């Protein structure tokens, strides 16, 4: 008989931990194995918490190709598909394979600094900001065309799945995840007689990359923030943002509808 392994991760909240134990027991009673540590050969990863907990699990295990199911324990829970009182229903449907997989696109950024290269990946977004309170200046190209010298706090490059997160707070558009586009949203752009920057988001097709050449200033570093996780660079020569081949698989049930989710979470 094949061993059917399911990885479970929960955030540190007492309630999430309680749900984790309950779910583990229920899965074991249904014949599944729940490994103590991350098992790369598991058939499913269950993340208990909010979107933040799910994003941290995704990054910790470097965007595994195993499908994820999110159990929401009292946060916004945009990625989280089920509520803790639906565990039995989930196991029932899962055993009958009555679910759909939503494939979500990811964004990547390559940072060049002298001879060094750093790769970052995001399911929601990747942001470049200054490490200090001063304005940063970014020379931005789209494809091979130079577009603008941006001045402000920074820029955000998001996927459709990330369009409802930080991007939305910045005035960016909500994008249906069935579209394959990247959205570039300015963060506090300056648009004065001294500085000229686009003030709205720009939407790009998947084959176009965005290249950013930050202007180096003394003692000014940069932060690259991928899905809320900060990475500091004392200087950056170039950052290229583009689509990544990696997709994240999310388990969704029959009733899932992106726009219903938007409505129930935002309106």
Structure tokens belonging to residue 27: 């899965």
CA 174 to chain centre: 15
Contacts of 199 (CB under 8 A, 6+ apart): 186, 189, 191
C-alpha pair distances (Å), 110 with each of 25, 114, 260: 43, 13, 35
84 part of the interface to ligand NAP, by CB under 6 A: no
Binding site partner of 242, from ligand NAP, Mn ion, none, Cβ cut-off 5-8 A by kind: none
Nearer to ligand NAP, 34 or 163 (CB): 163
Binding site partner of 48, from ligand NAP, Mn ion, none, Cβ cut-off 5-8 A by kind: none
Nearer to ligand NAP, 139 or 173 (CB): 173
Report the candidate in 196, 189, 194 with the shortest Cα–Cα distance to residue 149. 196
Q: Are 185 and 172 in contact (CB under 8 A)?
A: yes
Q: 21 by DSSP, 3-state: which?
A: helix
Residue in the block written with tokens 């726009």 = 259
Torsion of CA 32, 35, 40, 43, to 10 degrees: 20
Q: Is 176 an active-site residue?
A: no
Contact residue for ligand NAP among 78, 120, 150, 222 (CB under 6 A): 78
Q: Are 50 and 73 in contact (CB under 8 A)?
A: yes
Report the candidate in 67, 56, 60 with the shortest Cα–Cα distance to residue 5. 67
Q: 121 by DSSP, 3-state: which?
A: strand
Q: Catalytic pick from 41, 51, 85, 131?
A: 51
From 48-56, 152-160, 200-208, 211-219, span contacting Mn ion (CB under 5 A): 48-56
Site string for ligand NAP, 154-173 (x = CB under 6 A): -------xx-xxx--x----
Binding site partner of 209, from Mn ion, ligand NAP, none, Cβ cut-off 5-8 A by kind: none
50 part of the interface to Mn ion, by CB under 5 A: yes
Q: Are 174 and 251 in contact (CB under 8 A)?
A: no
| Cα–Cα dist 116/236, whole Å | 10
84 part of the interface to Mn ion, by CB under 5 A: no
Nearer to ligand NAP, 32 or 160 (CB): 160
| Cα–Cα dist 101/97, whole Å | 11
Nearer to Mn ion, 53 or 202 (CB): 53
Contact residue for ligand NAP among 51, 212, 252, 258 (CB under 6 A): 51
Q: CB of residue 76 vs Mn ion: minimum separation in angstroms?
A: 7
Site string for ligand NAP, 105-144 (x = CB under 6 A): -------------------xx-------------------
From 9-17, 73-81, 105-113, 132-140, span contacting ligand NAP (CB under 6 A): 73-81
Residues between 188 and 247 with contacts to ligand NAP, criterion CB under 6 A: 227-228
Report the candidate in 249, 237, 231, 205 with the shortest Cα–Cα distance to residue 119. 231
Binding site for ligand NAP (CB under 6 A): 50-52, 55, 75-78, 124-125, 161-162, 164-166, 169, 227-228
């Amino acid at each position: 008989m094949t061993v059917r392994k399911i990885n479970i991760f929960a955030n540190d909240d007492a309630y999430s931990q309680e749900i984790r134990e309950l779910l583990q027991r229920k899965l074991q009673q249904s014949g599944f194995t729940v490994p103590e540590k991350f098992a790369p050969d598991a058939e499913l990863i269950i993340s208990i918490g909010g979107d933040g907990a799910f994003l941290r699990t995704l990054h910790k295990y470097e965007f595994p190709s195993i499908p994820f199911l999110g159990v929401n324990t009292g946060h916004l829970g945009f990625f989280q598909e089920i509520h803790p009182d639906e565990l039995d229903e989930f196991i029932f449907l899962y055993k009958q394979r009555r679910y759909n997989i939503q494939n979500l696109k990811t964004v990547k950024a390559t940072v060049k600094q002298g001879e060094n290269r750093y790769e970052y990946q995001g399911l929601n977004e990747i942001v470049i900001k200054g490490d200090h309170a001063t304005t940063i200046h970014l020379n931005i190209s789209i494809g091979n065309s130079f577009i603008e010298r941006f001045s402000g706090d920074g820029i955000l490059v998001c996927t459709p799945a990330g369009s409802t997160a930080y991007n939305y707070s910045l005035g960016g558009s909500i994008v249906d995840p069935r579209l394959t586009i990247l959205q570039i949203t300015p963060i506090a752009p300056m648009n004065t007689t001294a500085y000229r920057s686009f003030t709205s988001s720009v939407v790009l097709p998947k084959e176009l990359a965005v290249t950013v050449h930050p202007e180096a200033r003394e003692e000014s570093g940069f932060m690259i923030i991928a899905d809320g996780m900060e990475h500091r660079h004392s200087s950056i020569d170039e950052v290229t943002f583009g689509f990544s081949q990696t997709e994240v698989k999310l388990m969704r049930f029959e009733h899932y509808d992106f726009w219903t989710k938007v409505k129930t979470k935002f309106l």
